Amino acid sequence: MTPESRPRSPLLAWIEWGAVALLVGGVAGYLFWKPLDPMGDPRAAQALALVQTHPARSAPSIRQAIGDVMKANRRADRSPSIGDWSVRPDDRAGARDSYHVRLVVRLPGEQTHRWIEWEYLWKVRLSPPAVIPLSRPAVEIMP
C-alpha cells in the first residue's frame, strides 16, 4: 500500500476545515470592525474635512495646529510621529450624521526612552455642522 492510496484521517480533515473557517471568520471580522474609509463614504469624508479645517486656538486650522505641535516637539535624536486620521460612525448617537474622528500623536518625552501619546478625539455632527472635542488634547487646541 503506497502513501498516496491510504485514506485520509477524518481528524485531519476536521482540522483543515477548522483552519479555513478561522481564516474566513478572521477576514470577515476585520472587514466588519475596521475603521471606516473616509474616501468610501462621502459623509465620513465631510466629517474629517470639518475637523481638519476647523479653526484652532493657535493656527488657522486644527490640521495646522497639530503640525505645529509636531514641529515644536522635534528633537535632534528623536522625532515625533503622527498616526492616521480615523473616522467611525457614532453608534450611540443613533443618527447617521454623527461621527467620531480620532488621531494619535506620539511625542518624545523628557527621558530618552520615554514617549508620550496624545489621543485627539472629536465628535462631529454634520447637520447642523458642529465639531465637539472629546479628549483633553483636542480641547487644548480648539478655540
pLDDT tens profile 72-118: 888 877 889 999 999 988 887 666 789 999 999 998 888 778 888 99
The CA distance from 64 to 115, in Å, is: 22
CB atoms within 10 A of CB 47: 29
Picking from 131, 138, 60, the residue whose alpha carbon sits closest to that of residue 105 is 138
Give pLDDT, residue 94.
66
Residue with cell 479628549: 135
Name the band, by pLDDT with cuts 50, 70 and 90, for residue 4: low
Task: Give 31-88 pLDDT, tens digit per residue.
Answer: 777 665 666 778 889 999 999 999 999 999 999 999 999 998 888 778 899 999 999 8
Give pLDDT, residue 2.
59
Residue 5 clears pLDDT 80, i.e. is over it = no
The CA distance from 98 to 57, in Å, is: 24
Handedness of CA 64, 66, 72, 74 (dihedral sign): negative
Stated as kind and residue range, the H or E segment containing 16 is helix 10-33
Q: Which three cell numbers stand for residue 24?
A: 474566513
Taking residues 16-41, what's their average pLDDT?
A: 81
Taking residues 1-14, what's their average pLDDT?
A: 75
Give pLDDT, residue 76.
79
Give pLDDT, residue 22.
93
Burial tier of 20 (Cβ tally within 10 Å: 0-12, 13-18, 19+)? exposed
